[in-house]
Each structure stands twice: as structure tokens, then as C-alpha cells.
Structure 1
Amino acid sequence: MILKNILYICQTTTKTKKVNSKSHQIISFFFFLICATFYAQNVQIDSLKRILGGTKIDTVKVNQYNKIADLYKEIDPDQTFFYAQRAIVVSLKKEYHFGLATAYVNKGNASIILGNYPDALKFFKDAQTEFKTALEKETNKKRIKSGLARAYASSGVVYSEQSDYTSSLKNYEKALKIYQEIKEQTGVSKTLNNIGILYKSQQKYPKALQYLKEAYKIQTAIGEQNAPMTLTNIGVIYFELGEYQNAIEYYEKAKAGFSKNNNKRGFALLNNYLGDYYKEQNNFDLANESYQESLALYEEIQNKFGASLALYNIGLLLQEQKKYNEAIHYATKSLEYAHEIGVLDQTFHSEELLSELYQSTKNPEAALLHYKNFIIARDSINNQEMTKKFAEAEMNYEYKKKEALLSEKHKREIQFVIFSILGGLLLIVLGLVVYNRMQVKRQLTLKKDLAEYEQKALHLQMNPHFVFNCLSSISSFIVQNGTDSALKYLSKFSKLMRLTLEYSKGSLIPIDKEIESLRNYLELEQLRFENKFEFEIHSSENVEFNVGLPPLLIQPFVENAILHGLVPKEGKGKINVDFDVQNEQLICTITDDGIGLSESKLLKENSVTAHQSMALDITKKRLKIMESITSKSARIEILELNSNKQAGTKAILYLPVQYIS
């Protein structure tokens, strides 16, 4: 059954003319790869079974089951399934992923031998999954990676048999990458060799030569036994390219290699290729010698398949030399072996050759008989090939369908993972942004609090300054006006002080209270200076009732207008205090018709100047702090009025609009 499954992979022909023997030699090559020395394997199996009987550790048992399953695959695939299943049961129980993966590989190999390619692919896929899991959980990484590479390479073999060369190459390349990573040179050379043969089957000879030569280089370095076979394949490619000199050079190298490793099957196959070469060169003697040596080697190892092929090639050679009777002898023997081992393909070719030979010897009855047998064999092969193609097409369709579904599922899983990761990253970024905003807000709050404390400190500096000035005014007033007037003045002063102290605790004072405070102060100063001036305080309708401003901010400018502008002036003067809101700014204007800034400086009243300088410096600091708190402009302008109609000074404060909550 094994031989039949192997042989039916090969292509057949319906032509009735002479057939080139190369295709049959390729069949032999695959046959040699699968055949093994059954006796040696049985000895190994018996030895492993004895060891298994005394094993108590479950993981060791699994490894023994897998070794036995591997040895059975070429003798009895059913036994491979049996022992691999035992390995699976124990591996699942112990969560031994490496043992489970190896068992799947064994089942896959057995499925290949039985020609069940869809099952083989499924087992290899399962093996790949388990090897990847083992990489995450187990420590012996190199052993696991080697198994994973083997699973990929085995998938490549299956795809190659299904003529899906793209998928085959993809899996071989994955295997090659892993073997190179773990520096497993034997695996590297075998995979390179498989890729070379894959390209050879597609007649992509330059690529095939590249990989086969690279494989041979490694095989030579590590002393691998299959090196002569690689040389043989290289020689075959050169032969098919018509580069006969290169072909014979590699055949000779292969011959030297086979003589050292005693690989009789490989040497027998090489002699078949040598026979083809010499036949092409019309050197029939050397061709016959090579074919005869191939036949002798096959007979020695009792390989009737190879012997049938060698006999057929000798028959073809004798036919070309018109030695028909001798050719009939060899062709008949070839047909006997083909019948004996049940190789329908070789039967087909041998029957065709015999029909032609009997036709040449003027024996029409025998020629007709063999021709009929040739037609029967051809039809059987064609039917089997057609059935196989339909079966393969159906299996490929089902497999592709399942693979597409799995691919779509895998794609969705990957998308879910990607979106989950992106979602997680987004949450982290949002968290960082929120945290950063909280930190910034906290810092701004601290800065604002600090600015407010500084503002209050400046308020506290203004209070004693204001009180000192008021007390000086009272002292002067008492001296100049007597007791009764002083009592009236003190009454107004106490009212002003209560109002000032009450609102100096906060950072803002309502505008109406500020106006009330300014009115009280101006009335005191009017009393002190015996109505030396008049005043007006005006607030536009743009100013809302809950607008606020820092306390004692306007008073120093009113005081300066009285002392430095109006008192030195001859005659009666006037002060105007106006409040307005424009472009989201509170504009406070203090205007007097006094002597003006320039004239005031000339008087050089040092004590008053000192007071003015202190109050003005403090006010400028307060305005800067107000800017930092509100992030809006706060400034002051002091202008001298020197027109013909009016002289004096105008102080304008531009403040951000703030509201009392």
C-alpha cells in the first residue's frame, strides 16, 4: 500500500512512443527516501518497549511513546497513531506541550504515508500551536524550536505533494529561519535541499541549483551522509539543462561520495542517471555498464522496484541498438517485477516497450497482446489519476475553505488584541492627561493663592500708610481749627477707618463701597483744607453692581491729586473720579485741574514725594500680581494736562473686570 501511494503521485503519459526514463528515476528517488531498514527499526522498537515498561515518570513515558510512534510510521502507520495517541493522553493530563506537539507531528507523518493530506496538515498545524505554547512555558527552548521547525518543514512536504508550491515554500522558509536561528545545521541542509527540489519540480533550475549547492556546502562541512544524493540532484538539473559537462562532473563527485558511505540505493540511482548521460552521448557500452551496475545493486538489496526500472532502461537501450531479442528479455523481466510488486506505472511502460519490441520482431500477436495490456494499464492510471485529482481538488477546496475561516477568525482575534492594546494605551494617555491637568491646576491654584497672599500683604502695607497719612492730617487739622472742628473731623475719620478695615480683609471690595470710601475720604480732605476743592465721583451704567476691585487701590491717586495738584494751586480746584467698563476692562480715571506734574516736581516737597513714591511702587506691584492671577492686562497711565483750556493731571487705571461672588 505504501509503495502504491508513493507511485501514484507521479505523472503518467498516454503517448505510445518511446518514454524517457527520467520520470521513473524520480519515482525511485522518492521511494528511497521513504524506505528504511525494517529489521533495524524493529530492534529499536523492542528496546524502547522494554525501557517503557520500567518508566514511572510521565514526561519520560511520553517521550518513549513518541519515539516508538516515529519508528513505526514506515512499518505500520496504524501503530504510529496508537502510540502517538497514548502520548497525547498523558501529555494533556500533565500539560506537557512539547510531548503533545511531537505526538501531533507523528500523526501528521503517518497521515502523509497513508496519503491523507488534509489530516496531515491539521496535525502539523496543531503541532505548531503546541510548540509555540511550549516556548512560553518550558525551558529547553532549542529542542522546542527544532520541533517547531520540523512541523513547518513537514507542512511544506504536504503542500508540495498537493502542488501548492507557494504554501510549501512559505513553510520551508519558516523552518529554515528557525533552524538557522538555533544553528541546527542538519535541519538547515535538509530544508535547503527540499527547497531546491521544490524549485526543480517547477523547472526553476537556477533557483534549484542555488539552494542545492548551499545545502551541499553545509553537508560537506558537517559530514552528512546525504551529500552524494544532493550532488546527484545537481547533476540531474545540469543534465536537463543540456549542460552535460557540468552534469558528469557532479555525477563523478557523487560517485566518489557513495563509495565512502556505502549507500547502495543512492549509488544504484546514480548509475541509472549515469546510464542516461552515456546514452545521450551515444556511448552505449558505458550506458549499458552503468545500467547493469544499477541492476546488480538493486538485486543485491532485493529492491524489485529499482530493479524493474533498471531492467526497463536496459531494454530501451537495446531497442535503440536494434537488439530486439535481448531487449525483450530485459523488458519481460521488468514487467514481471512490476506485476509482482503491484506498480501500475511501471507495468504501463514495460507493456508499451514489449509491444514495440514484438512489433519490431514481426510478432504481431504478441505485440497486440502487450498493446492491449498497455491500453488497460494506461486507462487504469488515467482513471486513478483523475480520481486522485478530483479528490485532491475537493480536499484542497475544503482545506482552503477551513483555512480561510481560520484566517478570518485569526484576523478578528488580532484586531481585537490590537484594539484592546490601543484602548489600553488611550486610557493610559487619558489618565496621564487628566493627572497632568490636575497637577497643573494644583500648581495654578497654589500660584493664585500665593498671589492673593502677596496682594493681601500689600493691602496690609497700604493700611498703615493710609492711617499714617490720615493721622497726620488730623494732627494738622486740630492745630489749625480747634476742638469742635476736630471732633467733627474725627467722627468722619472713624467712619472711614471702619469701612476701610472692614473691606481690607478681602482681595476685592464692591465698587459701591469703594465709591463710599472715596467719598468719605474726600469729604475729610475738604474739611481739612477748608473746601479748597470740589469733587465728583461718577460710575457709568456699564459698571455692574457686583463688579469689584482691590481695596485702597484708587485712594493713593486721589491723595496725590489733592496734595500735589490742588493744595499748591491758587484758587479752588476740582477732582473727578470716573468708573467705566470698556472691552472687558474696568477703567478708573482720577482727574484734577491742579498745577500738573512738572510744576509739582519743582516745588520739591520731599516728605510728600516720599509718600507718593511708596504708594505708587506698591500699586504697581499690586497690578502685576493682578495680571498673574487673572491672566489679563492691568496697567496705569499718568498723564499731564497742559492745554490752554485745562492744566492738571490724569491718572488712568486699566483693570481686569472681576466680580464679587
Structure 2
Amino acid sequence: MYYKEIKKPSEALAQYSKALTTFNSIEEKFGLSDTYYFIGDIFYEQGKWNEALVNTNKSLALAKELDVLDQVQIAEKRLSEIYEKLNQPQEALAHFKLYNIAKDSISNNENVRNSVRAEMNFEFDKKEALQKKEQEKREVIYSEEAKRHQQQIVFVILFILLAFGIVFLIYNRLQLKKTLTLQKELAEYEQKALHLQMNPHFVFNCLGSISSFIVQNGTDSAIKYLSKFSKLMRLTLEYSKESLIPIDKEIESLQNYLELEQLRFNNKFNFSIIKSQEIEDDMALPPLLLQPFVENAIIHGVIPKKEMGSIAIRFEIEKESLLCTVEDSGIGFQQSKAQKENSVAAHKSMALDITKKRLEMIESVTRQKANVTMDEVKNEQGEIVGTKVTLHLPLQYQNNN
């Protein structure tokens, strides 16, 4: 083919001859058909129609034997052209028709191949689409499973954290409850200890009053005084067992105490005890809480005053608190304080200190305000006409004890 291109047909024919020998030796008929066609083509270009006809017929015969339609098509076309050059129109027409038949067969075969190819491509695309869809489905399932797995892990972690939090909260609350219980018990024990400290102090003051009364008034009056004192002591011992007593019991105790002090000081003062109708029957307060302030009102308030004195005790409810007031018409706490400091016999009142500590304990147990205020009472001219002590206590009830 190289020699043919450079216009050296003799060298080309020589090489084709060698090719025929080689193809014959290996029985390669397609190569023989091809080579005979190329040899005929060289003769055709040289105008050697008979030699071209012989070689082209050999190529056609082999192509038909092999059923190679492409080779049959070009061989029939060349034969039609050769017969036309040989002035044999009938043969030329016959081979041209055969050429068209081969061409149509090739076209049909091509169409069939294209159809088969298209069908195969369609099936392949369909299969590929199904595989892609299956792959996408698997990926979605895998993604959902991974997502569900992650959610399960998250839920497990959250559950563990929640369970740990609940356990920690329960433990914390139990510890807090235990601590609060211990604090409450400690406060109650401290309050009872302070209460027990106060009872001997109260008894000591009463016994002092009795001895003074015996010296001043004689045996008969002392016996009457002792009778009232024994009743008061019985009430005091009975109440001292409790951390809370009803307000009515506290009023009864104060009534006995004030009557004793009236006897002791020859009715130097009168007194009144008023309870608000808002106060319920089971409302309670710590026992002997007001007694030190009543004692102070008598000893350091009304007794140092020359005129007849008065003491008013009130129990009221104000803004979720129990107000207990002890008001006297004495000399006022500033003047009383000055007299005690100048007096040789002056001594520190343990009862007031103990009462303040008791109020602190009440405040720590109930977590509500419990305090005492002390004010001087003045008239319209601004003169001091007495002292008013007010205790602010939380509302407590007998069944809460």
C-alpha cells in the first residue's frame, strides 16, 4: 500500500504477491480476499481491465465464502465498474444490482445491529439505573441505619446522663435533707438547752421575790404567795417539756406570774392581757419567751416610778407573723439602763440574753423572721411615758411540733 501511494505499482504488486503466499500458508481467507481486491485495484488504475476482473472475482468469491458483506459490496461495485469499462452494460447492471443488494443487506444488518445495540444499551442503562437505584436505596438505608445508630448512641448517652443526674439529685437531696434534719435537731436541742437555762433563772428570781415578800409582809401573805408560786412552777415544769405550747397556756402562765408580782409589790401596778380574735386555738409559741420582758417591765419599768404603773400584753397577727408586745408605763429603758449602771447591786440579765439566742434558734429552724425590737413610748409633749417591746415570731402551730 505504501508503494501504491508513491506510484510504484510494480513494487506494490510484488509485495501483494508475498502477502498472498503468506496468507495461503496460514489459510487466512479474509486476508486473501482483501489482497486480491487490492491487486485488482492496481490493475484497474492501470487500465488492465481483464487482470482487474480476474483478481476482483477471486476477492468476491472469497468474500461470499466468508459472508463478509462489506467486502462483497465493494467487490460487486468494482466489477460493475470494470464491466462498464469493458462495454458490457448488462453485466455492469447485474453487478450494480448485486452491489445495491449487498449495500441494503449491510444497511439492514447495520440497522439490526443498531437496534440490538440500542436494545442492549437500553437494557444496560435499565440495569445500570436499577443498580444505581438499588445502590441509592442501600445508601439511604445505610444512612438511615447510621443515623438511627447515632440517635441510639445519643439517647443512651442522654439516658445515662439523665440517670446519673437523677441519682445525683436524689443523693444530693437526701444529703441535704439529712443535713437540714441534723441542723433542725441541733437547733431544737440548743433551744431546749437555752430553755433549761432559763427555768432556773426564773425560779431564782421568784424565790428572791418570795424571800423579799416574807420579810416585807409576814408569814400569812408569804403562804398565799407560795401557793400561787407552786401553781406557776407546776405550769412551768409542765410546759418546759415542750418546744411549743398553745398561746392560751402562755397567757395562763403570764397571768399567774403577774398576779405574784402584784402581791409582791402591793398592787403597785395593774395589767391586761389581750389576744386577737384572729389567733387560732392551736397557734403556739415557745414557752417562757415573754416572761423576761414582762419581768423587766415590772422591775426596771413601773416599780422605779412613783406613780401607779400599768403593763399591757397583746398577741396579734400581722403579715404572716405573730406579734407579741409588752408595753409598760415605766421610766423608759434609757433611764432604766442608766440607773442599773449607777446601781451597786446592778447585775446582768441572763434571761434577756438567753431569749435573744432562743429567737436566733427559732429563725434558723423555721427560716422565717424572729426578732425583738424595743422602743420608748412618748406622749404628745415628747415626754417618755414607758417602754414597748415587740417580738416578731413566725406562725407556728401545736401539731407542727
CA distance change for structure 1 residues 569 and 411 in 2, over 3 Å: closer, same or farther?
Answer: same
Identify the residue that residue 490 of structure 1 maps to in structure 2: 226
**One-letter code of the match for 1:572?**
M
**Which of 98, 106, 114 is the aligned partner of 1:378?**
114
Q: Which residue of 2 aligns with 1:574?
A: 310
In structure 1, what is the Cα distance between the partners aligned to 2:131 and 2:224?
117
Q: What amino acid is aligned across from residue 500 of structure 1 in structure 2? A: T
**Which structure 2 residues correspond to residues 456-535 of structure 1 after superposition, within 5 A?**
456-535=192-271
Query: Which shifted more, 397-406 or 528-537?
Result: 397-406
Aligned residue pair count: 314
Counterpart CA distance in 1 for 2:229 and 2:72 is 145
Per the alignment, in what secondary structure is the counterpart of residue 610 of structure 1? coil
Q: Say whether 1:657 aligns with 2:358.
A: no
Aligned to 2:283: 547
Separation in structure 2 between the aligned mates of residue 515 and residue 495 of structure 1, nearest angstrom: 14
Any conservation in 1 of the 2:376–2:384 contact (CA below 8 Å)?
no
3-state DSSP of counterpart to 2:386 = strand
Q: Which runs of 5+ in 1 are unaligned?
A: 1-324, 326-331, 337-349
Which structure shows the bigger proportion of residues in helix conformation? Answer: 1
SS of corresponding position for 1:506: coil
Pairing partner for 1:647 from 370, 385, 388: 385
- 1:546, CA displacement in angstroms? 1.0
- Report the TM-score when normalising by structure 1: 0.43
TM-score (norm. length: structure 2): 0.70
Aligned pair partner of 1:595 in 331, 343, 364: 331
Match of 1:392 among 128, 145, 158: 128
Deviation at 1:472, TM superposition (A): 0.8
Post-superposition offset of 1:560: 0.5
Structure 1 residues 378 and 356: CA distance shift in structure 2, 3 A: farther
Question: For the residues of structure 2 that align with 1:607 and 1:504, how far apart are their CA atoms?
Answer: 33
What is residue 637 of structure 1 aligned with on the other side?
373
Q: 1:198-243: CA deviations, max 9, x gaps? A: xxxxxxxxxxxxxxxxxxxxxxxxxxxxxxxxxxxxxxxxxxxxxx
Any idea what the Cα deviations from partners look like across 1:420-469, whole Å, max 9, x if unmatched? 44334323322221221111111111111111111111101111111111
Q: How far did 1:378 drift? A: 3.1
Counterparts of 2:337 and 2:168, CA distance in 1: 59
Q: Counterpart of 1:545 in structure 2: which amino acid?
A: D
Which residue type is aligned with residue 521 of structure 1?
Y
Alpha carbons of 1:421 and 1:351: their partners in 2 closer, same or farther (altered >3 Å)? farther
Q: Deviations over 1:516-558 (max 9, x none)?
A: 0101000000011111110101101111111111111100000
The aligned residue for residue 557 of structure 1 is 293
The alpha-carbon deviation at position 386 of structure 1 amounts to 1.4
Question: After superposition, where does 1:162-561 map in structure 2 within 5 Å?
Answer: 365=99, 368=103, 373-398=109-134, 400-401=136-137, 404=140, 408=144, 411-412=147-148, 414-561=150-297
The 8 Å contact of residues 309 and 330 in structure 2, kept in 1 or not, is answered as yes
User: Structure 1 370/469 Cα, relative in aligned 2: closer, same or farther at 3 Å?
Assistant: same
- The separation in 2 between residues aligned to 1:567 and 1:545, in whole angstroms, is 34
Per chain length, whose mean CA-contact separation is higher, i.e. which structure has more relative contact order (CA < 8 Å, sep 6+)?
Answer: 2
How far, CA to CA, are the matches of 2:304 and 2:337 in structure 1? 12
Distance verdict in 2 for CA 1:620–1:359, change over 3 Å: farther
Counterpart selection for 1:610 from 339, 347, 370? 347
Shift, 1:615, TM fit: 2.0
Residue pair 1:451, 1:625 contacting (<8 A) in 2 also: yes
Alignment deviations for residues 470-503 of structure 1 (CA, whole Å, 9 cap, x no partner): 1111111111111111111111111111111111
Describe the shift of the 1:564–1:375 C-alpha distance in structure 2 as closer, same or farther (beyond 3 A).
same
The amino acid across from 1:387 in the alignment is E
In 2: Cα distance, 1:524 partner to 1:361 partner: 159
Give RMSD over aligned pairs: 3.3
Q: Deviations over 1:595-641 (max 9, x none)?
A: 112322332364775243x2222221111111111111111111112
Matches within 5 A, 1:148-167: none
Distance 1:616 1:358 in 2: 141
Residue correspondence of structure 1 range 36-51 to structure 2 within 5 A: none
Larger radius of gyration: 2
Alignment correspondent of 2:361:
625
